[in-house]
Amino acid sequence: MQTDKKTLFSAAQPSGLVTLGNYLGAIKNWVALQDEYNCIYSIADLHCLTVRREPKELRAKSLELLALYIACGVDPEKSCLFLQSHVPAHAELTWILNTLTYPGELSRMTQFKDKSLKHADNVNMGLMDYPVLMAADILLYGAEVVPIGVDQKQHLEITRDLAIRFNNRYSETFVVPEPIIPKVGAKIMSLQDPAHKMSKSDPNENSYIAILDDEDTVIRKFKRAVTDSDNSIAFSDDKPGISNLLTIYSAITGETIAAAEERFAGKGYGEFKIAVGEVVASALAPIRKRTAELLSDKAYLDEIMKKGAEQASYFANKTLSKVYRKVGLYSPERKK
């Protein structure tokens, strides 16, 4: 890592489809941040175990997500890419942080409440402990900044609380991370219900765009996107459907929302939806092609995973050793 750069950490779960919302809200921004920060990007496979998964599918999705990262522009030569489960320090630090975490603050977490409702037959301690593992993910690497969506603020807050709590009890150890919330594309909404975030778990497949959707599918889904009662293409709180499409168009093209409003002034909703679909399909086509190429070379992806795990382990274990010493865990003296 370069000492003149701040360290940035982020992770995503290999829990199914990667949507346009995931891409615009996270992965696309990761690419842009690589030259500015020391970037550490993890595939959070341990987090996936909080709900029941088909083991074979989880392994396949982990590999696919790694390929997608690279296809989207995350460079293994610039950034550290690894699977969370390949670095045992994540689970080890979680246990230490658990001793500083109160059940009440975990039970109040919005995601725990939501997932408990969705998976009422499998409300496990991992589901509740999710934020502590996320805190360990971040704190292991001394990350000064964490790119997050607006809906993830609560999880970063508990990470900050645990870092401060540990530092106050055992002396200065952890960096207290700050959030980076992208100004554009931070939260992409459902194409069918723009009051809710775009989600791969939505039973209506027309509500989301998957990164690996083909061109015809992308355009068809945008044609079916919910808009609003009038026919003006303008960003407004009372026009959530059109505002969501303008946000997507702006995030994909780099054009400001104001410029997009001017470009489509006087145009109908139908024409606008097709235009948004076309720019999205065009942006996703090379990612889809590159992902397929990478998945055909499993040896290359395995090598990237191995190298990334070695890099991540070096930094994670340094932090963990310091933590173990601070809390009083005994370690034999090493010969110099």
What's the CATH number where 164 sits? 3.40.50.620
The catalytic residue among 28, 61, 115, 239 is 115
Structure tokens at 222: 């945008």
Total domain count for the chain? 2
168, 215: one domain: no
Q: What is the pLDDT of residues 117-133, one digit of tens each?
A: 666 677 778 888 889 99
Residue 228 confidence (pLDDT) above 60: yes
Which of 81, 131, 62 lies closest to 101, judged by CA?
Answer: 131
Q: What is the pLDDT of residues 87-106, one digit of tens each?
A: 999 999 999 999 999 988 88
Least confident segment among 25-29, 43-47, 58-62, 93-97 = 25-29
Question: Catalytic: 56?
Answer: no
Which CATH number characterizes residue 220's domain?
A: 1.10.240.10
Question: Catalytic: 197?
Answer: yes
240, 107: one domain: no
Residue 200 lies in a domain: no
Question: Catalytic: 200?
Answer: yes
Which of 315, 266, 293, 264 lies closest to 93, judged by CA?
Answer: 315
- State the residue range of the domain holding 17: 7-183+298-327
d(CA 218, CA 223): 9
Query: What pLDDT band is residue 290 in, cutting at 50, 70 and 90?
Result: very high
The catalytic residue among 197, 221, 239, 273 is 197
